[in-house]
Homo-oligomer: A and B are copies of this chain.
Amino acid sequence: MNVPMQDTRAAVDGELTRPLVDGVKRLFKQRRGRMFLSPGSATAAWEAAVTNTLDPGDKVLTARHGHFSKRWVELATELGLEVEVVDRPWGDAVPVEEMARRLEADRDGRIKAVFVTHNETATGVTSPVAAMREVLDELDHSALLFADAASSIGAIDFRMDAWGVDVAVCGSRNGALTPAGLAMLGVSDQAMAATERARRRRAHFDFAETARLDDHGYVPYTAPTPLLEGLRASLDALFAEGLEQVFARHRRLAEGVRRGVRAWGLDTVARDPRFRSNTVTAVRVPADVDAREVVRIAHGRYRTPLGGGLGPLDGKVFRIRHLGGLDEVTCLSTLAGAEMALKEAGCPIELGAGVGAAQGYFQDAGMAFDLRAVA
């Protein structure tokens, strides 16, 4: 009847969350530093990351080339940081060379952190986080590297340690995980050291205090049990399939979808083929077609959920998400729904063309599942 109270509870929670933390670190490919699981949103975790490691007036450098990179500019500004922004057209990746120029110009080391959105969900663009780290290392620049790892973790390879990422944030729903409600926050030793220098006052989610409790097997919150169980199930499924197999599957499914888009005669928002995302494809519709209508028909008439265009892409773009526990046939059904919706919205599409192109690719690309396993 009595749930034990504060102190006792925390000890129990530690036992509960410890294997989850280990699993999430494996997912982030992180061996060093800290991983914090926290009930709450990824945005709350971003704020915690910023306020624990940076002070008002500190300068950060970031590109703005999509919906989410734009949000992190706003968040940093609201928190009193000085943000140096490199604007690029939505659809571009992070402009690593221009970022390098800015860092090189920062001779007195005023830039304390660089923000990168690994996978920009609004445009379907995956940026090279590793290249950003190489730049910092070559310049011997001490800025911390922050990565928004939402919608890549668990679907596209992410390497916390190997890429020298100092802060990586992912919400439990934004990656290939379920359900929403937990934030995952990887913090490097360098970022932990920065927290000791930071002067901003925090009570809740102070990194140093949270780490201290963690060392004693405590967590500073009551366990949101259904979320932890959901995360456990998600991790088990990912590791059972194998992380590299999961990444390969997302690559294959994404390429099938792109073949379908090409067979429709349409372009993706992502211009450079090297940076096309394996978890989401943003598709430009012809000028005389309203992409909102495509989304509306697909959802309303064919129960096919497509994402709409965000911000400046509104009406011009619809998005196909291919993230999570999907297989070829599920992606084909989405293409089938989308092509019916495109045709009804006025796009001169031949029914079956996109599906057929993807089918052809899937047949050539080899097996999703090993036939021997079911023989």
Contact = CB atoms under 8 A, between A and B. Distances in A.
Interface of A: 1-8, 38-41, 43-44, 46-47, 50, 56, 67, 74-76, 78-80, 121-122, 171, 173-174, 179-182, 201-206, 220-227, 230, 296-297, 299-308, 310, 319-322, 324, 326-334, 336-337, 339-340, 343-344, 350-353, 355-357, 359-360, 362-363, 367-369, 371, 373-375
Contacts of A74: 203
Contacts of A202: 47, 78-79
8 contacts: A76-B203, A171-B222, A300-B373, A329-B337, A344-B363, A351-B355, A351-B359, A355-B356
Nearest to A306: B2
Nearest to A326: B1
Contacts of A173: 3, 222
B44 A204 contact: yes
Given A1-B322, A181-B39, A363-B343, A329 B303 contact: yes
B180 A225 contact: yes
Copy count, this protein chain: 4
A206 B307 CA distance: 27
A3 B105 CA distance: 42
A363 B350 CA distance: 13
Contact of A321 (B3, B321, B332, B360): B3
Nearest to A307: B5
B7 A310 contact: yes
Given A1-B330, A78-B203, 19 more contacts: A1-B331, A1-B334, A2-B321, A4-B306, A5-B121, A5-B307, A5-B319, A38-B40, A39-B41, A41-B220, A43-B203, A44-B44, A76-B203, A181-B181, A296-B375, A301-B368, A332-B337, A343-B363, A351-B359
Contacts of A350: 356
